[in-house]
């Protein structure tokens, strides 16, 4: 820490919050560069080799004890500083999405056509969380704060469920509270949950035959898929309106003149409540069985993504709310405003004009429309998350526009807001043990006697080839 800051702190001229913000600012450029480097080399889930090593290197350089390749995943790691309790976790992610390669320009222009891209901003997520962890560590050192700050480098959030395997490996067993964030187009803290999700691959096996000369001898695996999906479409009318079902046919056969002997569909379903989703999923399985029965094919199911809905934490959200208000927002430069306005023209819908990114804090209940394996962590330890404005107003995740923002100066400004918020909240938890206990009490109240369940087997191996299937 700079000598002048030590002097000001000793004389009481600088508040604890001020010192935390100064520490974040001191490392912001470096971790902004890290986020850009990860953005330039996007890697799919379980294959984030360069991204993971870069973050490990930065945290090790800053005095953290790094454990690599944890929970059977080569790119998973933890980075810890300190000892004893409380143990405060900061969650980080760094996987990209397939097919969303994009330059940092306001027109669609892939770096590599068909290549991966950071269209969910995980290059910013992992870097901001690491920046916050470093700032908290330095605050702990100077103030003599007791406890452990631990960064979780969690791979494959986009469907692979890296955090679930970390839970199964016991890596959250001693954690008292977990904090995280996600890129968005607003700065917001609330008590919203996210959707539970279940998914997997339905494989149909039939009998190949000449489609013109001997169609009666064939049994079409593609027919099985199509009958299943037709039944799923009828099912949509008879599920709760918050339910989402989406799929892609990943294999429909090899040629139109051959009755397909194999076909495959990758399907996901979501609902705000994991138990309600179980009932919906049972009906989807019947659709698949009906497809096999009607087409006289055989169906096999491979379990894929299974994430719990997020269990909000009232106490931690209050801590994050105070932290975000202290952290503040940011303003666009004229150049950033022009970038934003040009990007907004591609959205096809009216959006508000870019301007100072304000902070919104409320304690409203509800749920968002996405899903995350943070939900599983939230059922195991007290957990809270927020969103920070790394995207231009109106831009949604999983789009080329989001990938453009994630590599821009707007994205890096937003990640600093996130880092400031995490660092302030983390420091408060170390300074005030009562806040940690309040988070535990709120956690038990929300659990209401329930417990975490998952379809991912405790002795199962991470699907390291999931992202490249």
In the predicted structure, residue 5 carries a pLDDT above the cut 60: no
pLDDT for residue 310: 95
What domains appear along the chain, each with residue ranges and CATH number? 3-194+310-447 (3.40.630.10), 196-307 (3.30.70.360)
pLDDT for residue 236: 96
Angle, alpha carbons 278-283-286 (nearest 5°): 130
The sheet with strand 298-307 has its strands ordered as 244-251, 262-271, 196-205, 298-307
Calpha distance 411→392 (Å, rounded): 9
Instruction: Encode pLDDT of 38-47 as tens digits.
Output: 999 999 999 9
Instruction: Encode pLDDT of 351-383 as tens digits.
Output: 776 665 677 777 778 788 889 999 999 999 999
pLDDT for residue 226: 98
* Residue whose structure tokens are 């820490």: 1
pLDDT for residue 52: 98
pLDDT for residue 269: 97
Angle, alpha carbons 24-421-358 (nearest 5°): 110
Calpha distance 289→233 (Å, rounded): 15
Instruction: Encode pLDDT of 58-73 as tens digits.
Output: 999 999 999 999 999 9
Contact 116, 102 (CB under 8 A): no
Residue 325, both tokens: 């208000």
Where residue 238 falls (left for φ over 0; alpha for ψ -120 to 50; beta otherwise) is alpha
Instruction: Encode pLDDT of 70-127 as tens digits.
Output: 999 999 999 999 999 999 999 999 999 999 999 999 999 999 999 999 999 999 999 9
pLDDT for residue 354: 64
The DSSP call for residue 93 is: -
Residue 378, both tokens: 């939230």
Angle, alpha carbons 436-438-442 (nearest 5°): 120
Calpha distance 13→18 (Å, rounded): 10
In the predicted structure, residue 3 carries a pLDDT above the cut 70: no
Instruction: Encode pLDDT of 390-417 as tens digits.
Output: 999 999 999 999 999 999 999 999 999 9
- Select, from the ranges 152-156, 358-362, 453-457, the one with the highest average predicted confidence (pLDDT): 152-156
Choice among 353-367, 414-428, 435-449 with the minimum mean pLDDT: 353-367
Instruction: Encode pLDDT of 202-245 as tens digits.
Output: 999 999 999 999 999 999 999 999 999 999 999 999 999 999 99
* Residue whose structure tokens are 């916050």: 132
pLDDT for residue 469: 40
Say which residues have a Cβ less than 8 Å from residue 241's Cβ, sequence separation at least 6.
none
**pLDDT band at residue 389 under the 50/70/90 scheme:** very high
Of the candidates 335, 329, 333, 332, the residue with the CA atom closest to the CA atom of residue 105: 335
- The chain-wide mean pLDDT, for the chain, equals 93
pLDDT for residue 290: 98
pLDDT for residue 17: 83
């Amino acid at each position: 820490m700079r000598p002048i800051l030590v002097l000001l702190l000793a004389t009481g001229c600088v508040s604890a919050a001020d010192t935390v913000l100064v520490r974040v600012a001191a490392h912001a450029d470096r971790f902004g560069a890290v986020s850009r480097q990860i953005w330039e080399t996007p890697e799919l889930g379980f294959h984030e080799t360069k991204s993971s090593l870069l973050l490990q290197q930065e945290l090790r350089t800053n005095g953290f004890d790094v454990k690599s390749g944890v929970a059977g995943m080569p790119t998973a790691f933890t980075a810890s500083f300190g000892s004893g309790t409380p143990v405060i976790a900061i969650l980080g992610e760094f996987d990209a999405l397939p097919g969303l390669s994009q330059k940092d320009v306001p027109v669609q222009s892939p770096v590599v056509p068909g290549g991966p891209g950071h269209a969910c901003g995980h290059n910013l997520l992992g870097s901001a969380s690491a920046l916050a962890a470093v700032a908290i560590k330095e605050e702990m050192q100077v103030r003599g704060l007791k406890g452990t700050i631990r960064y979780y480098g969690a791979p494959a959030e986009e469907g692979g469920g890296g955090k679930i395997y970390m839970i199964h490996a016991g890596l959250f067993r001693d954690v008292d509270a977990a904090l995280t964030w996600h890129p968005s187009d607003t700065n917001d803290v609330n008590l919203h949950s996210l959707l539970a999700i279940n998914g997997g691959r339905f494989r149909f096996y039939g009998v190949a035959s000449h489609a013109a000369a001997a169609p009666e001898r064939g049994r079409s695996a593609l027919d099985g898929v199509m009958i299943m999906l037709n039944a799923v479409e009828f099912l949509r009318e008879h599920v709760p309106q918050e339910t989402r079902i989406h799929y892609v046919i990943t294999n429909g056969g090899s040629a139109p003149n051959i009755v397909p002997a194999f076909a495959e569909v990758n399907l996901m379903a979501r609902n705000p409540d994991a138990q309600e989703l179980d009932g919906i999923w049972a009906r989807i399985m019947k659709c698949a069985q009906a497809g096999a029965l009607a087409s006289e094919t055989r169906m096999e199911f491979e379990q894929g993504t299974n994430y719990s809905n997020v269990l909000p934490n009232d106490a931690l959200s209050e801590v994050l709310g105070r932290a975000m208000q202290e952290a503040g927002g940011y303003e666009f430069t004229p150049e950033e405003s022009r970038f934003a306005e040009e990007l907004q023209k591609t959205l096809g819908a009216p959006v508000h004009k870019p301007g100072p990114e304000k902070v919104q804090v409320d304690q409203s209940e509800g749920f968002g429309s996405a899903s995350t394996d943070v939900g599983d962590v939230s059922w195991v330890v007290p957990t809270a998350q927020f969103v920070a404005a790394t995207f231009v107003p109106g831009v949604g995740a999983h789009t080329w526009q989001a990938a453009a923002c994630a590599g821009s100066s707007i994205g890096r400004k937003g990640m600093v807001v996130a880092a400031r918020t995490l660092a302030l909240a983390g420091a408060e938890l170390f300074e005030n043990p009562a806040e940690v206990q309040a988070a535990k009490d709120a956690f038990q109240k929300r659990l209401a006697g329930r417990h975490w369940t998952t379809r991912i087997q405790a002795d199962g191996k991470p699907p390291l080839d999931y992202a490249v299937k």
